[in-house]
């Protein structure tokens, strides 16, 4: 399998497969391909895992594309202005991603649901009580809102984030929330009631334009119905 991420603000990932190689993807992510690809739609591990994907922001069914001839090409497109990143998944290093981040992967990557252990971090942190967990072995492609910024945190090292800006983190990283101090800061600071706190060790991937933030910015410019 070979791949190349192309495009600017609305990127695609172009994947070239040899005969017999395959890619699995969420429903509707394929944007173009050569005639050497065979598609099969399935529940991807049974109804339980299918329901888990639905809860984590994906469709219940997955499409598996298998190359029937050498150098077959398939391309997957982003659904929002942003970035596509390739993440190597290994058995000893699963990752957690925001809901709906999964775009496509090689067959050995397992997509499942992950519940935040701390209810406050899930319900108030902006990243959500439910995240996607990618485990197994292979390459996964994730959609990121806006551009990406990566940091590697040492054990015990913390990063404080505005809610919604965490796109992905190693499973070794923990997430919590903290309340913004001071009533004046809460009322007039424009940063809300809480911030998200992530603690290492591990890598975090931040996104520069979360969809909720984008929506909030354009709401004043949407004409109201008369």
Task: In whole angstroms, give the CA distance from residue 49 to residue 63.
Answer: 14
Ordered by where they begin, the domains of the chain are 2-216 (3.60.160.10)
What is the model's pLDDT at position 189?
Answer: 46
pLDDT at 204 over 60: yes
Q: Cα dist. 65→22, 95, 125, 163, 186 in Å?
A: 5, 24, 36, 36, 50
pLDDT in tens, 113-142: 877 665 554 444 445 568 899 999 999 999
Q: For residue 26, give the H/E element and its range.
A: strand 22-26
What is the model's pLDDT at position 9?
Answer: 85
pLDDT in tens, 152-191: 999 999 999 988 899 999 999 999 888 766 454 444 444 5
What is the model's pLDDT at position 176?
Answer: 87
Peptide bond into 23 cis (omega under 30): no
DSSP string, 31-62: EEE-TTEEEEEE-SS-HHHHHHHHHTTS-S-E
Which bin fits 10, alpha (ψ -120 to 50), beta or left (φ > 0)?
beta
pLDDT in tens, 52-90: 555 555 566 789 999 999 999 999 998 888 999 999 999
CA neighbor of 6 nearest in space, from 71, 73, 76: 76
pLDDT interval class at 219 (50, 70, 90)? confident
What is the model's pLDDT at position 34?
Answer: 96
DSSP 211: H
What is the model's pLDDT at position 191?
Answer: 54
Percent of the chain clearing pLDDT 90 (strictly above): 55
Which are the contacts of 7, defined by CB distance < 8 A and separation ≥ 6? 78
- Cα 117 to its chain centre, rounded Å, is 19
Q: What is the mean pLDDT of residues 77-104?
A: 93
pLDDT in tens, 7-42: 888 999 999 999 999 999 988 899 999 998 999 988
């Amino acid at each position: 399998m070979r791949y190349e991420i192309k495009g600017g603000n609305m990127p695609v990932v172009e994947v070239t497969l040899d005969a017999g190689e395959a890619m699995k993807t969420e429903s509707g992510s394929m944007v173009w391909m050569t005639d050497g690809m065979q598609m099969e739609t399935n529940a991807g591990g049974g109804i339980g895992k299918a329901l888990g994907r639905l809860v984590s922001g994906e469709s219940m069914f997955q499409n598996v594309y298998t190359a029937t001839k050498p150098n077959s090409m398939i391309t997957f497109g982003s659904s929002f202005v942003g970035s596509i990143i390739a993440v190597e998944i290994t058995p000893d290093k699963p990752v957690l991603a925001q809901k709906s981040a999964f775009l496509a992967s090689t067959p050995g990557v397992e997509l499942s649901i992950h519940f935040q252990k701390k209810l406050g971090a899930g319900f108030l942190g902006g990243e959500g009580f439910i995240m996607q967990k990618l485990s197994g072995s292979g390459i996964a492609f994730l959609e990121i809102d806006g551009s990406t910024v990566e940091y590697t945190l040492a054990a015990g090292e913390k990063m404080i984030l505005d809610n919604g800006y965490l796109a992905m983190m190693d499973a070794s990283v923990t997430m919590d929330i903290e309340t913004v101090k001071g009533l004046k800061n809460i009322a007039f600071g424009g940063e809300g009631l809480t911030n998200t706190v992530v603690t290492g060790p591990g890598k975090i991937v931040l996104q520069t334009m979360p969809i909720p933030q984008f929506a909030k910015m354009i709401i004043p410019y949407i004409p109201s119905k008369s």
